Structure formats: structure tokens, C-alpha cells
């Protein structure tokens, strides 16, 4: 599916073969929280590959483009709050000349998967995730890939907001860091394999 553009939005940049976006809330207050695991996984991959995320002019996401065997791959973390993540996508996709949204991957936290579980999938529902909802509304489609990073659920439903937004401590903090590292490993598989093979390896782990 091609991204719709208005006449004044036709400026394009260097083409990327894949765009991987990690969702997170900005600011120190939310750093290291469960809701930020998607952004943290993207940051870790960029660090491993010797790159650095930067905010380009007129963009709403920090981004870095990395050379890979499959061509240039752009990694990005929106600088918007989670429920406005979609607003970062149009300028990012224009700059990376990505028309085919099947080559867009969104990494995000997932309450419906146990901590440490990962699932790479294409399309599907939004599972109440405000970041995914914003992106789907902006793009006009659910047809993009997702890396779902399991964070589990709190004991009581009313604790969900604190559970996802507050930084865990102690053993739980270490477990979350391990989950982020595993998610970064999964994203790197997309650099080495086609989607179906990466999906088989991630989901079968």
C-alpha cells in the first residue's frame, strides 16, 4: 500500500529498504519503563551497529540509517508521546522514500504476551495499544509488520497505567533489560533474513 501525500509533501530523501520504528514516550520520566521497550530495542540495535540516532530537520523522530546486506535500513524512535506516534510516520516515510508499507516494522510493548516472549507478525488488530492506534489512523491501514515485545500484565487491571509507565527496579529491571536485548536480537534478524525466515526464528524461539 502506498502512503498518500499532498502536493506540498512530495519531498523525498534517500531510499531505505526497510524502516523499523520503536515506540516510546520521550523524557527522563519514562526512560527504562515497560512502555518504552520498543524504542529501547531500536536504540540498542543502532548502538550495536555503530550508529547514532539523530533528529533531522522537520522530523518528529530520532533516526539513523544503517548499511546492511539487504540495503540501507532506517531505525527510528518518535519524539512524540505514545498516543501521537502516528504523526512521526509521514515525514519519516517521505524522507526514506518508503512507499511499500509491508517494509515498515513497528516494535512495541505487548501486555498480552508474557515477559520475555516475542512475536513477529504482519497486520492484525491493535490490542488497545495507543501507539499502534495512532499509526494505523495516520497511515489508513493495519497492514504493517510488528515486533510484539511481551511485558505481561499487572495483578489488577487498574494498575495498568502505573505498570507500563513506571520504571521497574531490582530483579524486574534486570529482566526488562534482558527482554530489550532479546528484542534487539529479533530486530537484527530482519537485517539478515527475509521476513518469513526472521518470523520463523523469532516466533519459534
Active-site positions read: 35
Q: How many alpha carbons fall within 13 Å on the CB side of residue 113? A: 18
List, in order, residues 6 or more apart from 6 with CB less than 8 Å away. Answer: none
Is the Cβ–Cβ distance between 63 and 75 less than 8 Å? yes
Reported as type and span, the H/E element at residue 177 is helix 170-192
How far is residue 113 from each of residues 23, 109, 203, measured CA to CA in Å?
17, 9, 12
E-only strand ranges, the chain: 18-22, 54-55, 61-68, 71-78, 104-110, 118-122, 145-150
Contact 63, 53 (CB under 8 A): yes
CA 131-201-112 angle, 5° bins: 35
How is residue 161 written as a grid cell?
497505567
Q: Is the CB of residue 110 less than 8 Å from the CB of residue 148?
A: yes
Amino acid at each position: 500500500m502506498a502512503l498518500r501525500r499532498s502536493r506540498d509533501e512530495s519531498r523525498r530523501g534517500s531510499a531505505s529498504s526497510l524502516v523499523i520504528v520503536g515506540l516510546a514516550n520521550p523524557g527522563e520520566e519514562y526512560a527504562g519503563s515497560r512502555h518504552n521497550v520498543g524504542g529501547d530495542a531500536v536504540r540498542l540495535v543502532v548502538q550495536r551497529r555503530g550508529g547514532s540516532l539523530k533528529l533531522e530537520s522537520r522530523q518528529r523522530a530520532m533516526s539513523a540509517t544503517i548499511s546492511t546486506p539487504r540495503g540501507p535500513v532506517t531505525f527510528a524512535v518518535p519524539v512524540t508521546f505514545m498516543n501521537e506516534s502516528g504523526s512521526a510516520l509521514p515525514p519519516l516515510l517521505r524522507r526514506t522514500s518508503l512507499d511499500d508499507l509491508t517494509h515498515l516494522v513497528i516494535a512495541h510493548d505487548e501486555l498480552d504476551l508474557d515477559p520475555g516472549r516475542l512475536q513477529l507478525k504482519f497486520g492484525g488488530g491493535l490490542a488497545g495499544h495507543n501507539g499502534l492506534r495512532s499509526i494505523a489512523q495516520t497511515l489508513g491501514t493495519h497492514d504493517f509488520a510488528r515486533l510484539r515485545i511481551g511485558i505481561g500484565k499487572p495483578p489488577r487491571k487498574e494498575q495498568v497505567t502505573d505498570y507500563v509507565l513506571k520504571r521497574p527496579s531490582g530483579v524486574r529491571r534486570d529482566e526488562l533489560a534482558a527482554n530489550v536485548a532479546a528484542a534487539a536480537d529479533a530486530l537484527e534478524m530482519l537485517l539478515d533474513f527475509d521476513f518469513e525466515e526472521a518470523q520463523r526464528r523469532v516466533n519459534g524461539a
